[in-house]
Every structure is written in structure tokens, then in C-alpha cells.
A = this chain, B = another copy of it.
Amino acid sequence: MGSDFHFELISQEGRARAGIFTTPHGNLLTPLFAPVGTQGSVKAVTPEQLEALQTNLILANTYHLYLRPGDQLIAGLGGLHRFMHWDKPILTDSGGFQVFSLADNRKIDSDGVTFKSHIDGSTHRITPEKSISIQENLGADIIMAFDECSSPYDLYRNETALERTHTWAERCLQAKTRPDQALFGIIQGGVYPELRERSIDYLTRLDFPGYAIGGLSVGETKAETLSILELMDARLPENKPRYLMGVGSPEDLVTGVLRGVDIFDCVLPTRLARHHVAITRTRRLNIANAKFTTDALPIDESCYCYACRNFSRAYLRHLVLAKEILAATLLTIHNLNTLITLMTDIRVAIIQCRYAQFAAEFLEHWESA
């Protein structure tokens, strides 16, 4: 890590942490939630609308951008920040999770993964070195080590995958050349405490500037997730940011922060928006529901987002039924606002040493959807 990056904890309450992560494209105030822009666009909103939401960090997917439009094309146009017109920090994943999700269309060996494109069936190969090369072409501020994901309950495969993940993490570190990118290691190990501990110990010896928690929220129980998070929180270095990948429901953000997580990302708020579901701090509303037909209230009376300040549930329901694009845009704005303002309030609560109470009240009021 060059001097471009610096992580400072400014406040702690119990295991909850408030910090500042300095990057070449600005400071990230943690804990934070990052919206996902899989293909170089956070679906249904403009960068201008994202900025109005005080979005700080966004995630883009290496696998998708490598296949289309291609990382070299993006590099030739000045990198991903310029390409998608986002001057704040960007994080790219390694491509590992997407490639392993291809199931029958990929083959793993000790050197890397060969797979078929979901777009045109063409054959491609990603190795740790290739993943870093792609991510260097994209030019995100935070990049991820290429890892092997497994199903959470297969001990043998988790052990094999873990060995590869560790070897590949070292190869990623060696392949990396850009000083303006922070490479995070990814802890794997499924639901197995011994594997998680082994992974933490191995990767912390490599001294990454941050650690991602992989392989959670992929099928295991909530109790298992929380237990693994607690184990990791106790063992990970305090002075490095921790990033819980793919987690983003309001209750998971609150419980994650209680267990020492600093960074979250998830497609949930944007994907639900395109399926007519609004997220508030206390519940989910399917805005297509007939009960909203003549409802003059905004999605959430306590919300100050552009959608809630200006539009009724009745109008949003009409837009959904009429298949108007504006429905997706307004619901995306609202859902992102819910998560981003939640994280801001969480951060302030930690700094003011009242987060334990905040979290207890929040979780009490949450109606599971």
C-alpha cells in the first residue's frame, strides 16, 4: 500500500467501528454501504443522482467489464472512473465469485479458471495475474485478490479452495504494479471456524491493506453468519478495513456493524427497486400492491429522498403498472437513500457512543420481509 491509502479508526463502541479510509479519489467514511454498478452503471440512476444521495463508494464487476466492453477498451478511454463518470472511489471484485457461479461452464485448476462467457459462449481464462491485470486496466481504488469460492457446507472443497485462495492471494500481491490501488485479501473457509482462522492467519501475514469477508450470505444460516463474523472480528487486525461482500439488507448492515464490519456492498436495494419493492428502515413495501392504488402518502413519510419528497405511492404504483422506467429510477433512489442514510446515522451513533441502543431499537422494529 502506497501513501495513497490510509485507514484510521476514529471511534469504537463495543465492536462497532467508525473510521476514515483515504483513497486517491477521496475519503471513505466508514461504516459505509456501496451500491453496485455491475456493468459500469448503477442500474436506473445517473452518477449525478448517486452524488445527490451522498454515495461514496461504488462497486463494479471485473468479470462483466472484462467481457464487455473489455478492460483494455476502458483503459484506453482513461479508466473506469472517467468511462462511467464517477470521480469518487470505486471498488472492483476479482471476478472469482462470478466465474465460480457459472457452475457447468467453468473448470478450475491450480493455476486459474477457464470458463465460457455468458454473453457469447466464447472461452476465457482468468488467473490471479490476469485478474490483477484486468483490475489495473479498470483502475478502481480498491481491488480484490482472485479467490476460489465454495458452497459453505462442503468441508473438503472448502479446504482445497482455501489452499488455492491463499496461493492465489500471494500471486495477486506479486502481480500488482499500481501504487494507486489497494489490494484486499479475501478470507474464505465456509462455515468452518478452523478454516476461517487459518485463512485469517495466512492472509494477515501477507499484510494486505484491507480484508474482505467472502463466502458468507450464500446459503448458511443467519446464526452461522453471525458466529463466523464474530470469530473473524476477534482475529482480524484492528487497523485494517473489513469488507463484508454481498451483504446489504438493513438488518444485516446493523448486525454486521455490531460485529466490526466497515464496508458492505449489495445489489439488493437496486434489484428490489426494479422489482417494485421499496425498502424502509422498518419494512419492505411492494409498491405494485393494490392497497396503494389511491394512497397519497410517499413511500416513507420519514424519508427525505427525491422520490419521497415529490411522489405518492399511488403514482409509483401507476408507473409500475404502466411499465414506466421512472418507477425503477425513483425506487432505486429511495432504496439507496434508505441504506446510505442508515449508514450515516450508524456512524454518528458510534461516534456518539449510542450505537448499542440504536441497533437494539432498530432490530426490534424491523419486520422481516
Contact = CB atoms under 8 A, between A and B. Distances in A.
A45 B296 CA distance: 22
A314 B77 contact: yes
Contacts of A68: 318, 321-322
A161 B178 CA distance: 73
Chain A interface extent, by class: 35 or more
B69 A293 contact: yes
B306 A48 contact: yes
A191 to B, nearest CB: 35
A22 interface: no
A330 interface: yes
A65 to B, nearest CB: 9
Contacts of A69: 293, 314, 317-318, 321
Given A85-B310, A318-B69, A325 B77 contact: no
Interface string A106-119: 00000000000000
Given A69-B293, A325-B329, A306 B46 contact: yes
B319 A41 contact: yes
Contacts of A322: 39-41, 64, 68
Number of copies of this chain that the complex holds: 2
Contacts of A219: none
Contacts of A306: 46, 48
A48 to B, nearest CB: 7
Interface string A325-350: 11011100000000000000000000
Contacts of A318: 39-40, 68-69, 83
A62 to B, nearest CB: 15
A317 to B, nearest CB: 8
B314 A47 contact: no
B326 A45 contact: yes
Nearest to A319: B41
Given A326-B44, A326-B46, A329-B329, A314 B39 contact: no
A314 B73 contact: yes
Contacts of A43: 324-326
A84 interface: yes
Contacts of A324: 39, 41, 43
Contacts of A317: 69
Contact of A315 (B40, B296, B314, B325): B40
A294 interface: yes
A43 B328 CA distance: 11
A76 interface: yes
Sorted from nearest, which 8 A-B pairs have the closest CB atoms? A39-B322, A69-B318, A85-B310, A44-B325, A41-B326, A41-B324, A83-B315, A77-B296
5 contacts: A40-B318, A40-B322, A48-B306, A83-B314, A325-B328
